[in-house]
Structures are given as structure tokens and as C-alpha cells.
Amino acid sequence: MKSLSRFRPDNLVLALLLTATIATLLPVHGKGADYLSDFTIGSVALLFFLHGARLMPQTVLQGFAHWRLHLTILACTFVMFPLLSIPIGLLSPSVIDPAIYMGFIYLCILPSTIQSSIAFTSIAGGNVAGAVVAASSSNMLGVVLTPVLATLFFKTEGGVNADAVESIAMQLLLPFVLGQLAQRWIGGWVRNNRKLVGLVERGSILCVVYLAFSDAITDGVWFRLSALDLLVIFLIVAVLLAVVLYATRTFSRLLGFSREDEITIVFCGSKKSMGSGLPMANIIFAGQALGLIVLPMIIFHQLQLMVCAGLAKRYAAAGATKTEQPNPVRVHSNP
């Protein structure tokens, strides 16, 4: 039973499934949707303010001393991943819906996660300090790089316009910068009250999902998907994750990184943040089929947690075996 425990969805995914079910049965519309949208905008702004207040700029700057490690992780996150989204386009629109393909592109341009990247790196016996810096800097840069990449990828799809860029700046970037400015006064309090940040993060994510699925039901977009469509999406996500995990491990070895740094690259370079992704998607894809667009990201989030949990345990077991392996004893025979 313990071996099956890692395949259990995490609490956030279970909450997302419950929220999606409620939105399907009781979608919000009209004035209620407007009020919930305003509340969601406020909660997202608060979330990015708290993220800005939590992260210490000096820690990130000091950590960049190991520049090869961090540039490799950033390259995996913002270069390799986006390039991998291009071949998926060959499946659109014949195999997957164009909105789903937009979702795959969006998934590939997101920053890395923070909590799970650091946690799995620690479990596996990797460079935890490097993971903290890499994941934090990825999220900080993602506030700017993800909208920029979205503008480049979706310029012909109508996915991002001047209003969306302005909304991102006002709702995400400005609160984040204000949080950074306030970090010296409230940073310690925010870091000591992680549950508050977690509560705001989960609350804003659930609000975005409820609105997205409500709009999907109201507009009838879910009738465009079948069980076969969902299976195809899952298979593409699984292949994408497998390719990225193999590539991050291979690149780290070819570049001569230590075992500890390899672990950090694998777990930080293969992750995508749903915590940052859903709030940004609510702005970037306003008025579009958001429920379909965020679906690849939600599936990838759960799969990356399950697969990386098992991978971290394998790394840890291999490290323990290597440590416990006795040194060979040479026996000298008397002449």
C-alpha cells in the first residue's frame, strides 16, 4: 500500500477536481461572475505581493555565484521547454483542439515550482541551496519572461494584446515589485507565516479554476472533448515529462556537473508552476477558452508530483547504497 501512496493525487489536485465538479454542476454567471472575477484579481495581486515579500533578493544574487548551475536550469525552463512545444503543434488541429495546443505552449513557457523543486531535491540528496536559488529566481524572472514568451508565441493567435500586457504589469509585476520593496520590513513575518501564503495561493487558484470551468460550461467548450481526447492529452503530457527528465539528466552529465547538482537540475529544470501559471493564465487568456487552455498544465502538475516523488526516492536510495558500500580491502600474501 505504501508503494501506491505516491500515486494518490495531492490535496491541491483533489481540491481542483472538486472545484471543477462544482463549477460544472453550479456554474457562476452574470453579476456573480463579475464579483468573483474582481475578488480573484485582488487575491492574485495579494499573492504576488506576498511572493515578492517572501523572496530575499540578496540570497538570489549571492546564489548566482554558481552561475553554470542556474543558467542551465533557466535554459531548461525558458528555452528547452518552449522549443519542445513546437513539435506538439503538428498534432493541431487534426489530433488536439487548437485551444489545447495553446495550453501546451503556455505550460512550456511557465517558470519552475518552488516548494516541490526544493523538497524533491532535498529528499534525493541534491544541492538544496542551489535549488532554493534556482527555483526562486525562476519564479522572479517568470513574472516577466512568461508574458514576453506568450507575446512571441501567441502573436498570431490573438492570445496576448496590449491590454493583457498592461493587466499583467498592474496585477502581477507591480504587486511583486512592491512586495520586494516591503521585504525588509515584512519579509521575516511572511516567511514565518507560510500557511498564509499557501492559503492565499490555493484560494486564488481555486477561484481561477472555478471561473474558468464556469465559463467553459456556459460557452459549451467541454462538449468539444471526449474520453479519447483526454487520453491523448495525458499521453502527450507523459511523453513531454519523460523527455524533459531524460534531457535534464543527460545534459547535466555531459556538462560535467556533480551528482548533487545533477539532482538539482533534474528537479528544478523539469517542473512547471501551477501556482504562478493559473493566475497569469486568467489575465493572458481573458475571454478565451480558459478551461481547455489550462487543462494540460493541471494534468502535468499532478504527473510531475507522482513521477518526481518516485524519482527522488530512487536517487536517495542510490546515494545511500553508495555511501554504505565498504571500501575494498586488499590482502597482501607473504612471499
294, 277 in Cβ contact below 8 A? yes
pLDDT of amino acid 300? 92
Fold of 10-318: Na+/H+ antiporter like fold (1.20.1530)
Identify the DSSP state of 28. -
pLDDT of amino acid 162? 55
pLDDT of amino acid 16? 77
Counting residues of the chain whose pLDDT is more than 90, the rounded percentage is 27
Q: How confident is the model at residue 323 (pLDDT cuts 50, 70, 90)?
A: low
Domains in the chain: boundaries? 10-318
pLDDT digits (tens, 9 = 90+) for 119-173: 888 888 888 878 877 887 788 788 888 888 988 888 644 445 555 566 667 777 7
Selection from 94, 104, 97 nearest residue 223 by Cα: 97
Query: Residue 30 burial (CB < 10 Å; 0-12/13-18/19+)?
Result: exposed
Higher local confidence (pLDDT), 246 or 216: 246
Q: How far apart are CA 76 and CA 244, in angstroms?
A: 8
pLDDT of amino acid 325? 57
Average pLDDT, the chain: 82
The yes-or-no verdict on residue 248 having pLDDT over 90 is: yes
Q: How far apart are CA 115 and CA 75, in angstroms?
A: 20
Selection from 263, 312, 249, 256 nearest residue 126 by Cα: 263
The yes-or-no verdict on residue 303 having pLDDT over 80 is: yes
Higher local confidence (pLDDT), 48 or 251: 251
Percent helix, strand and coil across the chain, each rounded to 5? Answer: 80, 0, 20
pLDDT of amino acid 254? 96
Q: How confident is the model at residue 329 (pLDDT cuts 50, 70, 90)?
A: very low
Q: How far apart are CA 113 and CA 111, in angstroms?
A: 7
The one-letter code for the residue type at 17 is L
pLDDT of amino acid 238? 97
pLDDT of amino acid 158? 46
Range scoring the smallest mean pLDDT among 44-53, 222-231, 304-313, 323-332: 323-332
**pTM, 2 dp:** 0.76
